[in-house]
Structure 1
Amino acid sequence: MIFNAIDQHEARSVLVKEMRMLRRMLAIFASVVSTVSANAQNASNDQASATALDDEIVVVGSQEKQATKHQRAAEYVRSVSQAPVSGQYARWHDPICPRVTGLDATAATLVETRIRQVATAAGMPTNVTSCRPNLVVIFTLDGDTTLKRLEQQRFAYPRSISPEERRAIRVAKQPVRWWTDTDIEGADGEPLTASPNPGLGALDLPANQDTKYSSTYSSSMITTKVRAVIPAAVVIVDVTTASGKKLTSVSDYLAFMVFGRARAVTGIRTPTIARLFDASCPGCTALTDADRAYLAGLYRGPANRPANTTRAALIGGIVADR
């Protein structure tokens, strides 16, 4: 009996322990389930929040950035370019031969060297030996008086400068005044003639004393039979009004203007040497990447292209270079 009592007591003790252990395991299991459920709920809430946030975020992709670059490049080209000549962008074809007057020999050499450097970088031909000047740069203390003297000597303007353009040059009070001679020649550089090719027979074509004819034959719808050229240019630098600008900056400025047949601009978003005298762009003191790309694009492609084709190529070149 004593042994039976002990056995029953031990059995009850074991049972109590097992029940306690079971309750403890159930409590742990319930805690784990609760934690997992809470984590799952939190994850679901996080996913919903991420989805809502994703709906509000707009990612600016490369396509939109490229469109912005293209828009700014188009604004730049449109702003700095002068009106086309006979539907084309005019450019130089003869080797550049600059002659600088009004400065001492050292300063004049510096300007001439810088002009040749800009031309070479753009892919233009240059002439460093003795040559006949086709780009005359005059530094003077009085731009108006110098211009009047040139006009009196009938040296100032070539025939291609219209009376309206001459008046604009006279009244301009710019620190740097320039003008380029322009002409039209055959696509391969041959001069135009005053009469049609005799091989074409008798033609009753509308003409006047300024009418010229080309003997170039082509069936292309992309190229033209002629090209617009710049044979010469004159620049007057008024030292008094250009005071405060470095000689290298003025050299870059005048080189860009006459090589690109460009014009001074203000207020556009793209930095350019064409804004050298624009007070809103104090950092525009040297050729920019856009300026270099513009000149390189102008002189890289074939010359006998319509203006819209050349313009598109210039814009594309500037976008690719930036």
Structure 2
Amino acid sequence: MKRVRSRGPFFLWEMVMAFWAMLALSAGLTTSQAQAQAPVQSQAPASTVAPSQVEDVEVVARMRAAQVRERVDAFIETNMAPAPGRPLARWNKPVCVATAYLSPQYAQAVIDRVASRIIEAGGDVAGPGCKADVMIVGSENGAESAKTLVQSDPRGFRPSRSATDRGSAALRRFQEGEVPVRWWHVSLPVNIDTGELAVHLDGEDYPTNTVRDASRLRTNVRDDLARIVIIVDFSKTANIRMSALSDYVAFVALAQVNPDGDTSGQDTILNLFANPENITELSQWDRDYLAGLYKAVPNRPNVRQQARGIAEEVIRQRNGR
């Protein structure tokens, strides 16, 4: 079979670099300042210690591991949103973070904070002069900014009819509403050995991939994050600490967060706008989850198996502390 050459999962940036330059002229946006001690139990002599005591400790450890698995499952189910039918995507390359319509003093602070969280999670960041992978856009009208961006580059937001994003209905919601922060993820299924596309992009040749070591536990395809646009509406974030807002953006830049998720009762930065007085940075749970996401095997065939791998990594991290 004749091999069809692909231009690679990141060719879209070559097409839209002119779009980013044009953005400053076409969007017409303005920039504002981002602003009981446990009871002591007596111990029996060694000769009277029941053998079942060791068994009790093992049961407790297993219960704790089971609780972590349940928590990871619930967190992914309620708060994550991969492309329909696809596993969770993550960055598998050095990430280039850029901003638009942020004053210089805030722009660099946000970039540095997001970059530090990427490294902390186990990712990597690109050097100066890189092409933007994560674009953080400041605005005083988030919905209008989103509409301008989508109209200027519709194919950049939906490069394929399936497997790369959350769909046309979600894209419409991205351009509506009065939320303080909105975002759009684009991910690409790629061959885990070669990095070549494993999905058909509109207007492109169909890719050819050789199935290797196919099993019920792993595939030869992983899902890579390819582009993220995050719009921060500063008219709605005046009471938010800049460090907390940057961490919120960093979490969204690292994981496919569901903007319609239910974070009630969960210890996460995603509750920032529901509880701005008490949330100042990523929670320990946020850090554990992101580290688990970036350490787990990336080419699981579905989200359920992927969640198990993430949970095992979270358990290892907690046991190591």
TM-score normalised according to structure 1 size: 0.69
| Aligned residue in 2 for 1:191 | 196
- The 3-state SS of whatever aligns with 1:139 is strand
Confirm or deny that 1:248 pairs with 2:243: yes
Confirm or deny that 1:270 pairs with 2:253: no
CA contact (8 A) 2:136 2:229 kept: yes
| Aligned residue in 1 for 2:120 | 121
| Aligned residue in 1 for 2:253 | 258
- Measure how far apart 1:106 and its partner are: 1.8
CA contact (8 A) 1:179 1:258 kept: no
2:314 to 293, 297, 318: 318
CA contact (8 A) 1:266 1:275 kept: no
- Measure how far apart 1:86 and its partner are: 4.1
- Measure how far apart 1:267 and its partner are: 4.7
Structure 1 residues 226-284: Cα deviation after superposition (integer angstroms, max 9, x where no partner): 111111110100001122111211111111112111235445333101111124x7423
Structure 1 residues 146-192: Cα deviation after superposition (integer angstroms, max 9, x where no partner): 12222332266232442111111122321100011111111224313
| Aligned residue in 1 for 2:70 | 71
Q: Indicate the percent of aligned positions where both proteins have the same amino acid.
A: 24
CA contact (8 A) 2:79 2:263 kept: no
- The 3-state SS of whatever aligns with 1:177 is strand
Q: How does 1:60-209 map to 2 (within 5 A)?
A: 62=60, 64=63, 67-83=66-82, 86-154=85-153, 157-159=157-159, 160-161=164-165, 162-192=167-197
Deviates more, 1:309-318 or 1:238-247: 309-318
Mapped partners of 1:216, 1:310: distance in 2: 20
| Aligned residue in 1 for 2:51 | none
Mapped partners of 1:192, 1:135: distance in 2: 20
| Aligned residue in 1 for 2:288 | 293
Mapped partners of 2:278, 2:194: distance in 1: 40
- Measure how far apart 1:113 and its partner are: 0.5
Mapped partners of 2:135, 2:263: distance in 1: 29
Structure 1 residues 20-66: Cα deviation after superposition (integer angstroms, max 9, x where no partner): xxxxxxxxxxxxxxxxxxxxxxxxxxxxxxxxxxxxxxx99725555
**Change in CA separation of 1:139 and 1:244 when aligned onto 2, cut-off 3 Å:** same
- Measure how far apart 1:302 and its partner are: 2.5
- The 3-state SS of whatever aligns with 2:236 is coil
Mapped partners of 1:218, 1:64: distance in 2: 34
- The 3-state SS of whatever aligns with 1:148 is helix
Structure 1 residues 62-102: Cα deviation after superposition (integer angstroms, max 9, x where no partner): 25555445433432232222145543111112211111122
Mapped partners of 1:94, 1:252: distance in 2: 20
- The 3-state SS of whatever aligns with 1:248 is helix
**Change in CA separation of 1:70 and 1:216 when aligned onto 2, cut-off 3 Å:** closer
CA contact (8 A) 2:143 2:174 kept: no
RMSD: 2.9
Q: How many residues align?
A: 251
- The 3-state SS of whatever aligns with 1:127 is coil
Which segments of 5 or more consecutive residues in structure 2 lack a partner in the other structure?
Answer: 1-55
Say which one has the larger Rg.
Answer: 1
1:232 to 227, 235, 251: 227
- The 3-state SS of whatever aligns with 2:157 is coil
CA contact (8 A) 1:184 1:228 kept: yes
Paired letter, 1:303:
P
- The 3-state SS of whatever aligns with 1:191 is coil
